[in-house]
Amino acid sequence: MIHVKSLLLSIAILLSINSLGFAQRFGEPSAIKSVYFRGGSFYVDREQNKELQHFLDSIPHLHNFLITVHSHTDNVGGKEYNEWLSKMRGESVVDKLISNDKVKPESIEIRDFGLFNPIYDNSTREGRRKNRRVDIILWLAI
């Protein structure tokens, strides 16, 4: 069941990416990883950091990829607060990415969405939990 949920999230992210024009710019993404956050937090906890490092370690020749970071929030709080929180989440994940010596800072592009472009239903607790995330999208540099 976990694999089905992961596949559905990947499809939703790809649809979101295509609507923003990234697919036309780089082709199809090679890999996607989401990092999840507690409400109101931009701290990458130990479990999420471990999963992120495992993901990065599983990608051979990581230096050959362009990385797009999409940061999101749920709809709790105002627009300005969520814009700030989204930016902080994106920066936290970028800090983790560049602390890995395989990732060059110049290969990263950040897009902060705040409470806009939710993939899940923000009217439910589970939907809000899943919208509190940063998506890391890897594109093979051509």
* Per-residue pLDDT, 78: 95
Q: How many CA atoms lie within 13 A of 21 on its CB side?
A: 1
Cα–Cα distance between 119 and 104 in angstroms, integer? Answer: 29
Q: 89 with 134: CB under 8 angstroms? A: yes
**How large is the average pLDDT for residues 11-40?**
68
| Two structure tokens written together for 94 | 């970028």
57-80 CB burial, b ≥16 within 10 A, e <16: eebeebeebbbbbbbbbbbebeee
pLDDT digits (tens, 9 = 90+) for 93-131: 999 999 988 899 999 999 999 999 999 999 999 999 999
What tens digit of pLDDT does each residue of 43-53 get? 999 999 999 99
pTM here is 0.80
pLDDT of res. 27:
72
Instruction: Enumerate domains of the chain plus CATH numbers.
Output: 2-140 (3.30.1330.60)
